[in-house]
Amino acid sequence: MSFTVAIDGPAAAGKGTISKGVAAHFGFSHLDTGLLYRAVGRRTLDGTSAVTAAQTLTAEELQQGDLRTAEIAQAASKVAVIPEVRAALVDFQRAFALRKGGAVLDGRDIGTVICPQAEVKLFVTASAEVRAERRFLELAAKGGDATRDQVLADVRERDMRDAERSTAPMKPADDAVLLDTSNLSIEDALAQAVSLIEVKFPV
Ligand code: DC
């Protein structure tokens, strides 16, 4: 039996934590689709063409090194604008979504383009200031030296590029449930996501 949960939204809204929690709660497989774009973005930093990198991407690349740096995030957002890059990553994501036992995918276009038939669609968001503060603390904990202002500017730049591109822009699907985590603890955000899914998941 397949059962797909699509979780979309901007950077640092809480998608990743909610997706991992949902996967653990229901025993679903989880795919952070941002890692695909980050792995492609990282290859372009070495001079590889983005389309070649996407067409030859391997699962191992997703495990190698730290893909969650600010530099790779910007590179990911830039390659994500290219239609051929997005097209090269579709089959892998769709196959993952149909895994037996259920799957949760988080990204920007899961509910709109990759899995329009998903049983549950959530669009997780929060104000740019709250998201930048979370990302700032995350990067600082890893020893990064970016200032709060730089992180906020980065978040805004990426939001704009992700939402305004012409292919698969970040936006809620018409049938997505919006979850604003600006004033929610992670436990409360996860509890809300779990109860929305429980209504649809045949246990
Ligand atoms: O979720 P993230 O911050 O790891 O994503 C990095 C970039 O990848 C994001 O700025 C846009 C792109 N992306 C995308 O275009 N579509 C997805 N499904 C996931 C990520």
Q: Tell me, using a 6 A CB cutoff, whether residue 154 lines ligand 1.
A: no
**Ligand 1 contact via 77 beta carbon (within 6 Å):** yes
**What pTM does this model have?**
0.95
Laid out side by side, the sheet with 4-8 consists of 29-32, 103-107, 4-8, 120-125, 177-180
At residue 28, the pLDDT reads 98
Domain topology for 4-198? Rossmann fold (3.40.50)
What integer pLDDT is reported at residue 144 of this predicted model?
86
Q: Where are the domains of the chain?
A: 4-198
**Strand-strand pairing, 4-8 and 103-107:** parallel
pLDDT at 203: 64
Classify 178 as helix, strand or coil: strand
Describe the crossing of helices 83-97 and 34-45 by its angle, rounded to 10 degrees. Answer: 140
- The protein residue whose alpha carbon is closest to atom 15 in ligand 1 is 80
Tens digit of pLDDT for each residue in 143-170? Answer: 988 999 999 999 999 999 999 999 999 9
Residues with pLDDT less than 70, the chain: 202-203
pLDDT given at position 64: 96
